[in-house]
A and B are shown apart, each in its own frame.
Chain A
Amino acid sequence: MLERTREGWRFAAYVWTEDGTDAVLAPPAGVSVAIPSGGRWGIPGTADCRACHEGQPNPVLGFTALQLSSDRDPGAPHARAAHAEVHLEDLLDRGLLRGLPTSLRRPPRIAASSADERAALGYLHVNCGVCHNREGPLAGIGLDLLQSVAEGPASVERTRSSALAVPALRPVGGAEMRVEPGQPEHSVLFRRMGARDALDQMPPLGTEKPDRDALALLERWIHSLADRRTP
């Protein structure tokens, strides 16, 4: 739960009691609970909440304009047509949204050079741009995966120039570049998305299994960049 107080945002996680009638405050460090069907589930601690929610200036982590665009991306992993009725125009019509910026009058979309790039950058925008952007605490590492609708193609180019053929601060077993054009297996971004051990996995918390559909998309996109390789 997030609560906005006079002192700032407060984060807390609660654990359901066994009969499901109440929930109790989880310890600040989080807790691992058994799942009746087998296995365990990690309930995040306060620091885990902050790790994601404070990755950019606004800690709410709500929908971005791109996610609410009626110009749906058919290539987006896990896209479902049923979501199409919730979009900016719909929210405007229902009076739930006011003061839409001029740049959003046309349904926003990522100014990518191919369908795969559009879907790949959209996925990175939503799942990685929360932390890897140029305004939050990790701005110093210079990886910007958050798209700006207002900036259009310049935003896409900024993502490319921050990732393609840029040495990673933390190489992973044979992969040195953040994205090595044409070579997914030598791209740290791809390798860490596919890892699920505490040292290498991205995102670092909140997931148990790699997103295979997204990895297949990222693999196609990185292969498609082969002509951008530097000799």
Chain B
Amino acid sequence: MTQKKTLLVALSMSSLALAAPGTTPTSPVKRGEYLVMFGACHDCHTPKKMGPKGPELDTERLLSGHPEQMPVAPAPVLQGPWMAATVGTMTAWSGPWGISYTANLTPDRETGLGAWTEQNFVDTMRTGRHMGRGRPILPPMPWEMIGKLTDQDLKAVFAYLRTIPAVKNRVPQPTPPATTTADAAAPKPGK
């Protein structure tokens, strides 16, 4: 029993460990993890917590996007050359596009990418539209650059995202700029 536990712990530790520097990742999942790390996906998609040396990744909420319970005050009004602002977790961004919140990339079915297929993910990165056909992906998500990866690499990223723990976190919907909200455009029933 103890041996089994040790083995489980060792396996879960190894699933978090990145390939050693200087080595080439040997499986799609490892390759995906390598690309996610190098592509700085954690910068915006993993919430931060305060550690002894300042903000650090909250590994219990790995890649789960902007925390739904985190209140976001109205965005500052920027002037001059300043165009964008972000919160301390770097999970919410404000700019000419309105306010965008980073997505939950974990395999949670209701709030993450659990309902997505590999093709949905590849299509999204290629087109800049949700699932390749829905609403536009907002800044600062650099989908144009990530979309230049090969099919094999994009599929590796998705394969890795399938292996991380599912986190239930419903990221807020983006806030459009000016007055073009769904509320403003909503039809008035009965009129």
Contact = CB atoms under 8 A, between A and B. Distances in A.
A200 B123 contact: no
Contacts of A194: 185-187
Interface string A185-210: 10000111111111111001000001
B120 A210 contact: no
B185 to A, nearest CB: 4
A145 interface: no
A140 interface: yes
Given A137-B117, A199-B182, A215 B187 contact: yes
Given A140-B116, A199-B135, A199-B174, A219 B189 contact: yes
B119 A137 contact: yes
Interface of A: 47, 50-52, 55, 131, 137-138, 140-142, 167, 169-174, 184-185, 190-201, 204, 210, 212, 215, 219
22 contacts: A47-B127, A50-B123, A51-B127, A51-B129, A51-B133, A137-B132, A140-B116, A141-B131, A172-B173, A185-B189, A191-B187, A195-B182, A197-B180, A197-B182, A198-B176, A199-B98, A199-B135, A199-B136, A199-B174, A200-B182, A201-B185, A219-B187
Output the residue of B117, B129, B136, B182 with the most chain A CB within 10 A: B182
Interface of B: 98, 110, 115-117, 119-120, 123, 126-129, 131-136, 173-174, 176, 180-183, 185-187, 189-190
Contacts, number: 94
B2 to A, nearest CB: 41
A184 B190 CA distance: 9
Contact of B129 (A195, A204, A215): A204
A197 B181 contact: yes
Nearest to A193: B187
A198 B133 contact: no
